[in-house]
Structure 1
Amino acid sequence: MKPLKEFTIPFVGLKIGKHQFEYKIEEPFFEYFEYEEFNDVKVDVNLELDKKATLLELNFKITGAVNINCDVTNEPFNQHIENEFDLVVKFGDEYNDEDTDILIVPHGTYEINIQQYIYELIVLAVPIKRIHPGVEDGTLDSDILKKLEELSPKLKEEKDIEEEVDPRWNTLKKLLTDK
């Protein structure tokens, strides 16, 4: 998979200090990763790169919305997402990304590609259980919800439950009240 050019930062020409980068992420970005869970994507990524003499500190902040399908009703809705991530880029003998917060790149590297970090930040910001806000507050009118309500097991009335109690238990309960 060839890296996307717009997410490659050539840091060798940057002065020591803080630098700001902004990206607008939309659906074609996820098509590149062949990720098809989102119907639509509108996410802003703010990246602050702090270049120091021996390392780079990257602070990612994402905000926006992804349009996904509800797990209960399969109705599409916009899920607001926010996430933040700090990455330290150090220089070493060989490439190493085993630690999630530290990336080691070989000496002589002059650019870094951040597309994978942005992809993971957005995907991990989406809740595991995706429930339409209308399901939670009861305002969504959906055929699927009506069918689920129709097929759900009905709770018996409390008096029916009391009638089904074995009469021997009632005798034992008298022992507690007869003191």
Structure 2
Amino acid sequence: MKPLKEFTIPFVGLKIGKHHFEYKIEQAFFEHFEYEEFNNVKIQVDVELEKKTTLLELHFKTSGYVNINCDLTNEPFNQTIKNEFDLVVKFGEEYNDENIDILIVPHGTYEINIQQYIYELIVLAVPIKRVHPGIEDGTLNSEILEKLEELSPKLKENKDTNEEIDPRWNTLKKLLTDK
């Protein structure tokens, strides 16, 4: 996959200290990754890069929303996204990204591309079970939701205490009360 130029940070010319970068993530970003789970995206990503003499520290902070479909009703809704992530970039003999929080790049590297980290940060912030907020508070009117209510098993509201109980259960209940 070809890296997007706007997510490449040339850190070699930066002074030692903190530097801020802002990115606006929209649907085109996820189309580049061929990720089709989102209907629409509007996310602000703030990256704080702290350059030190021997390493780089990156702090990612995302906020915004993604428009996704509900798992129960397939109705689209805006899911709020907030997430943070810290990454340490060290210099070594060869490229190594086996550790989640530490990236090792070869000596002589002068820039770093952060698009993959932003992509993963946003995708992992979306809940596994996507439920429309209207389902929880009862404000969503949907044909699918009505059909689910109609087909759901009904609980017996009027329990008759005179129901016939298997006598074996009565014997077992005595074990609980015989102390």
Matches within 5 A, 1:1-179: 1-160=1-160, 162-166=162-166
Q: Provide the C-alpha distance between the structure 1 equivalents of 2:131 and 2:79, rounded to a whole number of angstroms.
A: 9
How much does 1:175 deviate? Answer: 11
SS state at 2:134 partner: helix
Gapped regions of structure 1 (runs ≥ 5) = none
Q: Provide the C-alpha distance between the structure 2 equivalents of 1:80 and 1:147, rounded to a whole number of angstroms.
A: 28
How much does 1:157 deviate? Answer: 3.6
How much does 1:118 deviate? Answer: 0.1
TM-score, normalising length: structure 1: 0.92
Q: Provide the C-alpha distance between the structure 2 equivalents of 1:38 and 1:175, rounded to a whole number of angstroms.
A: 57
Q: Provide the C-alpha distance between the structure 2 equivalents of 1:173 and 1:3, rounded to a whole number of angstroms.
A: 68
Deviations 1:32-89 (A, max 9, x none): 0000000000000000000000000000000000000000100000000100000000
Q: Provide the C-alpha distance between the structure 2 equivalents of 1:98 and 1:176, rounded to a whole number of angstroms.
A: 55
How many residues were matched structurally? 177
Normalized per residue, the structure richer in helix is 1
Q: Which amino acid aligns with 1:43?
A: I
**CA 1:148–1:13 in structure 2 vs 1: closer, same or farther (change >3 Å)?**
same
SS state at 1:35 partner: coil
Q: Identity over the aligned pairs, expressed in percent? A: 83
Q: Provide the C-alpha distance between the structure 2 equivalents of 1:62 and 1:82, rounded to a whole number of angstroms.
A: 5
What CA RMSD, in Å, does the superposition of the two structures yield over aligned residues? Answer: 2.1
Q: Provide the C-alpha distance between the structure 2 equivalents of 1:127 and 1:28, rounded to a whole number of angstroms.
A: 22
TM-score, normalising length: structure 2: 0.92
Structure 1 residues 163-172 or 104-113, which shifts more? 163-172
How much does 1:168 deviate? Answer: 6.9
SS state at 1:6 partner: helix
Q: Which amino acid aligns with 2:53?
A: A
**CA 1:174–1:31 in structure 2 vs 1: closer, same or farther (change >3 Å)?**
closer
Q: Which amino acid aligns with 1:62?
A: T
SS state at 1:56 partner: strand
Q: Which amino acid aligns with 1:35?
A: Y
Structure 1 moving runs of 4+ over 4 Å: 167-177
Q: Provide the C-alpha distance between the structure 1 equivalents of 2:172 and 2:113, rounded to a whole number of angstroms.
A: 74
How much does 1:160 deviate? Answer: 4.1
